[in-house]
Structure 1
Amino acid sequence: MVLLLDNNYDIVEPLASSIVQSLRSIGYSLETAIADIVDNSIAANANQININFIWNKEISYISIQDNGMGMGEEELKVAMRIGSMSPLSTRNSKDLGRFGMGLKTAAFSQCKRLSVMTKKKDEELHTRCWDLDLIEKTGKWSLLKEFKEISDLQIIEQGTIVLLEKLDRLISESYSSVAYNSYLKKVASVEQHLSMVFHRFLEGPNAIQIYINNMLLKPWDPFLVNEMATQELAIEQHYDNDYIIKIQPYILPHHSKISKDTYSYADGPRGWHDQQGFYIYRNRRMLVSGSWLSIFRKEEPYKLARIMIDITSDMDFSWQIDIKKSTARPPKYILDELKRIGKIARDASYKVYYHRGVRLIQNNATQNNDHVWEQIHKHGKVFYKLNRAHPILLKLNDEVDDYKLLNAYLSFIEEYSPFNLVSYTPSLKIEDTNQEKKNYNKVEITEDILSSLKDIIYALKSSGYTGDQILYRLCNSEPFNKYFEQIKALLEEE
């Protein structure tokens, strides 16, 4: 233990202006900053949160108003302090914070003036304000007790208003239609992000309501739990010391099993391909949305697998939660379990992806997957597909470098197998042949054929064929010679 004797140490206080500039550069985006502020409203037991983005020349601002419990004057001063609570302190199950920095660092990342107005029920209204220009000028942590009120922002009974002004990081140019459209796109990104991050708070019997510019925010459920064709695999529980980690894999339906609107909805902020993987929640608040955590690569056949992981705030350090609450890294001891569960979910996704919605039988031990071909009845015809769940094929998939090329070759085998060619070839009378040829371009392409075409085009391009060569080969081969326009369109997309 070091004893501090008289005159044997110096007090070296950090420069306020330098600290502020460092806090502004932590790396928040607009959407993660607003989410961090909303965390405080939820922790204050608010059930209604109103967020407004106002661009009005010199008085542009963002306001976040809630009907939570509010704060007394001393509580407000503590909340406005940089590092208002030690990260080592125990948090309750509803607390979404950790470092005591979120409100300030989130706000400073977007603006130079942060004001808070708060009121407890039957108590007085209290206000405090950080103005970074004033801190820069004086070099002191001067917390203002008053700020210019905005008539539209009032607390009736109880709650808190957070006001961001001098939006230098958000509005950096004069008003114009181009600048305003860019601003609106950023607001739309906030809407998408909040509907995803807080979706479990926005649904259910005790749902909260979040309004953005007076429009009610709807939750984005990445797991499509209300869809009949969604598969819920077995939930597992693991322990982090005395705390429980819950892991629930979901396999989303094949697109043929859901409506176009549902398919578009499930696309999420980043698209089907990038939304696959693990979703990590801390006290029901999403931290990570769609990542294989460096355990697996993102591959097309596995895009239907999404896995929910629930942790608590007691695991913040073991899971390395960052100050922005936007990243998490699982501890080493759980990685093997995540790999095992991830492989189960990925195998299930693979089967649904290639088997066009055949539902997974969860008791895999009773299944016999040794058959090579599967018979499929569609539109009154019989087709045959390779059994993509065959143990040898699954092992081969694990070992090859280019999954897509292998699957393209398997599609070749399926489409050019003699019995499928017979199924595709119409039974024509000689006099009907010319009429059938005239109708070739009118044939509607099925999802099976479209998927096979994409794989085959990829394989041919990988083998060095040009677009014209691919078009010639496919349009002179059964069953693809009926789909000239569709093949041409696919080649133009590549």
Structure 2
Amino acid sequence: MEYKNFSRNNTPNASKLMESLRFSGYDNSIALADLVDNSLDADASLIDIKIEKNREDYRVSIADNGIGMSEDVLEQALKLGSLTSRDTQSDLGRFGMGLVTASISIGRRVVIYTKEEGQDMLTGIMDLDYMAEVNDFKVYREKSSKEDMRIAAGYGLDKCGTVLIIEKCDQVNYTDINELSDRVSKYFGEVFREFLRAGKVITVNNSKVDIVDPMWQDGILVDEYKKRSELYSSEKFSIKVPNIGEEEIVVKIHVLPMFDQSINRKLKLNQTNQGFYLIRNHRQISGGETLNIFSKHNDLNRVRVEIFFPGTLDQAMGVNYSKHGVKPSQAVLDKLKNDVLPQIDTLRNRFRKIHSVEESEDLNFSDAEKAIAQSRKLLDVSDAKKEIPVKRTRKAREKEENKTPETDKHRGRPSLPEIAKFELHDFGSAGIIFDVEKQGKKTIILWNIAHPFYRRFILENKDNKDLLNAVSFLAYSMGEAKIKYSTNEDAYEMMDNIMVSMSANLRILLGS
């Protein structure tokens, strides 16, 4: 059946719709950034944000020196789903919703003064209380009065530009203006860093916004700590877009500088901030994302990935109208998994080795070695005559060669014989948990610092002496058993296979 008479009026309830849109997921910083987008799209080079408090009420203003708006553009700007023309390759606006929804998420009344060069100044007002009273989408839009021009001049509007003022601010998330302005300034310094690099000036309560670069390429953090990140890779990838063709995304992987733990905590070089940062038309719209491509782990705290893409990829990247957060299509995710995930895994393995070496510096197995020596007469140990060679670190060999006999300081006689020794070695993440070698009467256990067992049970519990000793006793006992049967080829091979299989299973279960 074909239906033809689609003539019934279905105008939404103005008051309820506008009230609902006030709760669209914006916080104050995100909303103000959406309004700054409009200023940048208007070619503004100077954008001034002021957050003022009068008793219990706030007033928020954004003034710019952009090209201003004509009467037609102002009319559209005060509408939901405005029809102003946009360049998807460069404009920051997307769905024509930003000015209205961002403004009313903060306050109930929006006043706009705007002027094109050589044209009359215009005033536009949207008041939700008036809309509720008449239950209609009615706004004020006229040529500016002398009083309007006087007010606009106070915000710096001269030859051209726009001043947007939000009043009746009942949804400001902060009680302290300084806290709010500081939060907004830092947020702007991050999301608009590309524009700040290009010379755009943004001020918040008369303070210039500085670049806050989470990639540590430049900005106030680099200036303060005198360290810059390593650009690990920068590659272009093609994404197919229906009805458009192929578009390019640029993926840059950065490795942040290394600091000690106290500075890492201060600078929030942590799991929350690791991951993907999405840059749409040079403006960051999301950061610290995994995109379900990898799992966050402390090993990746120094890894951050920028993905630059044009607005033509909004659908493929899953950009919503608030331009905060993304949900890429499966095609995009598959591309990133194939090209980026192997690099992330490479860096993860690199950092694990570095962290294992650093954290192992104060690792001490002397209690376990002493306990084994004291129990030597009761232990079922190997009596193999020959030494079983295993790859050892040069550092370990040099330490052994330069070692001098120790004596018991309290009794002036030789200390307990050294029949067990625990050392560290890198057999790779796919290697066994530990290996064993015999040197004279001494059994040497070589822990594999690249295996997740070492990190999870040795490093993470290095201050728990009881657990560290118990794990060491287990490794020593298994090592002795392997050496005891070294002269029996079949038994030795079986012990070797048991170790390989156990290491592989634990690698999976412990989440390598």
TM-score of the superposed pair, with normalisation by structure 2:
0.66
Instruction: Assess if the C-alpha contact under 8 Å between 1:28 and 1:324 holds in 2.
Output: yes
1:200 pairs with 194, 201, 205, which one?
194
Instruction: Assess if the C-alpha contact under 8 Å between 1:375 and 1:384 holds in 2.
Output: no
**1:126 — aligned with what?**
122
Instruction: Assess if the C-alpha contact under 8 Å between 2:75 and 2:141 holds in 1.
Output: no
Trace 1:145-184 onto structure 2 (pairs within 5 A). 145=141, 149=148, 150=151, 152-170=154-172, 180-181=175-176, 183-184=177-178
**1:365 — aligned with what?**
none
1:156 is matched by which residue type in structure 2?
D
Residue 79 of structure 1: CA displacement?
1.3
Q: Structure 1: 5+ residue runs without aligned partners?
A: 172-178, 359-370, 395-402, 413-451, 474-494
C-alpha deviations, 1:406-449, integer Å up to 9, x for none?
Answer: 34357x3xxxxxxxxxxxxxxxxxxxxxxxxxxxxxxxxxxxxx
C-alpha deviations, 1:426-483, integer Å up to 9, x for none?
Answer: xxxxxxxxxxxxxxxxxxxxxxxxxx5x6534xx5xxxx9xxx78999xxxxxxxxxx
2:179 pairs with 182, 185, 192, which one?
185
Residue 338 of structure 1: CA displacement?
1.6
2:274 is matched by which residue type in structure 1?
Q
Instruction: Assess if the C-alpha contact under 8 Å between 1:91 and 1:314 holds in 2.
Output: no
Are 1:230 and 2:230 counterparts? yes
2:323 is matched by which residue type in structure 1?
K
2:431 pairs with 392, 396, 420, which one?
392
Determine helix, strand or coil for the equivalent of 2:217: coil
2:255 pairs with 244, 251, 254, which one?
251
Mean Cα deviation higher: 118-127 or 137-146: 137-146
Change (3 A) 1:283 1:375: farther
Instruction: Assess if the C-alpha contact under 8 Å between 2:316 and 2:332 holds in 1.
Output: no
Which of these two proteins has the greater Rg computed from alpha carbons?
Answer: 2
**1:424 — aligned with what?**
none
**2:208 — aligned with what?**
216
Instruction: Assess if the C-alpha contact under 8 Å between 1:280 and 1:288 holds in 2.
Output: yes
**1:347 — aligned with what?**
346
Instruction: Assess if the C-alpha contact under 8 Å between 2:190 and 2:211 holds in 1.
Output: yes
**1:143 — aligned with what?**
139
Q: Distance in 2 between matches of 1:376 and 1:115?
A: 72
Residue 342 of structure 1: CA displacement?
2.6
Change (3 A) 1:386 1:123: farther
Determine helix, strand or coil for the equivalent of 1:324: coil
CA RMSD of aligned residues (A): 3.6
Instruction: Assess if the C-alpha contact under 8 Å between 2:57 and 2:170 holds in 1.
Output: no
**1:115 — aligned with what?**
111
Instruction: Assess if the C-alpha contact under 8 Å between 1:373 and 1:387 holds in 2.
Output: no
Instruction: Assess if the C-alpha contact under 8 Å between 1:83 and 1:99 holds in 2.
Output: yes
Q: Distance in 1 between matches of 2:217 and 2:393?
A: 29
Q: Structure 2: 5+ residue runs without aligned partners?
A: 219-226, 358-389, 403-421, 434-449, 471-512
Are 1:408 and 2:455 counterparts? yes
C-alpha deviations, 1:39-73, integer Å up to 9, x for none?
Answer: 10111111111001000126630001111111112
1:123 is matched by which residue type in structure 2?
Q
Q: Distance in 1 between matches of 2:106 and 2:345?
A: 39
Q: Distance in 2 between matches of 1:220 and 1:265?
A: 15
Residue 164 of structure 1: CA displacement?
0.5
C-alpha deviations, 1:111-160, integer Å up to 9, x for none?
Answer: 00011111111221111000000001111222113697547324112111
Trace 1:10-21 onto structure 2 (pairs within 5 A). 10-21=8-19
Which structure is higher in strand share? 2
C-alpha deviations, 1:26-50, integer Å up to 9, x for none?
Answer: 1111111001001101111111110
1:193 is matched by which residue type in structure 2?
Y
Instruction: Assess if the C-alpha contact under 8 Å between 1:254 and 1:352 holds in 2.
Output: no
Trace 1:252-401 onto structure 2 (pairs within 5 A). 252-255=256-259, 267=268, 271-340=269-338, 341-352=340-351, 354-355=353-354, 386-387=425-426, 389-392=428-431
Aligned residues: 381
Q: Distance in 1 between matches of 2:454 and 2:154?
A: 59
Q: Distance in 1 between matches of 2:196 and 2:39?
A: 13
**1:105 — aligned with what?**
101
Residue 375 of structure 1: CA displacement?
5.7
C-alpha deviations, 1:249-302, integer Å up to 9, x for none?
Answer: 11223226xx987x57853xxx52211111111101111201111222110001
Change (3 A) 1:245 1:234: closer
Q: Distance in 1 between matches of 2:451 and 2:34?
A: 40
